[in-house]
Amino acid sequence: DAGITQSPRHKVTETGTPVTLRCHQTENHRYMYWYRQDPGHGLRLIHYSYGVKDTDKGEVSDGYSVSRSKTEDFLLTLESATSSQTSVYFCATLSTLAGMRDTQYFGPGTRLTVL
């Protein structure tokens, strides 16, 4: 357990509204990631961050933006939510410490429903 929390854990929203999901970690891990999980697709990378204010797009970034102003927080924003963004969203962090290198830890997930 890498001390990763996600908020909210569940959210129902309407099409067209902006939504922000928060990932908070207490391990001072430099790398952080946002994934979405959908039936039949496994997990797909949305955005990632290599450090404060250093972010980049992943495999399915359209319609999403991210921000990282502090090491411990990584925010995912759906600028105008659509029904296709109904999913379970997972945050992850990567430890680069010797002995734990390459181990990616996942948060508990946020279930988002867009009506």
Partner 1 sequence: ELKVEQNPLFLSMQEGKNYTIYCNYSTTSDRLYWYRQDPGKSLESLFVLLSNGAVKQEGRLMASLDTKARLSTLHITAAVHDLSATYFCAVDIYGGSQGNLIFGKGTKLSVKP
Report in angstroms how near the CB of residue 4 gets to partner 1 at its nearest: 9
Q: Residue 52 interacts with partner 1 (CB under 8 A)?
A: no
DSSP bridge pairs for 71? none
Q: Residue 106 interacts with partner 1 (CB under 8 A)?
A: yes
For partner 1, the closer of residues 16 and 97 by Cβ is 97
Residues 48 and 32: beta-carbon distance below 8 Å: yes
Residues that bind partner 1 (CB under 8 A): 31, 33, 40-45, 48, 50, 58-59, 90, 92, 94, 96, 101-109
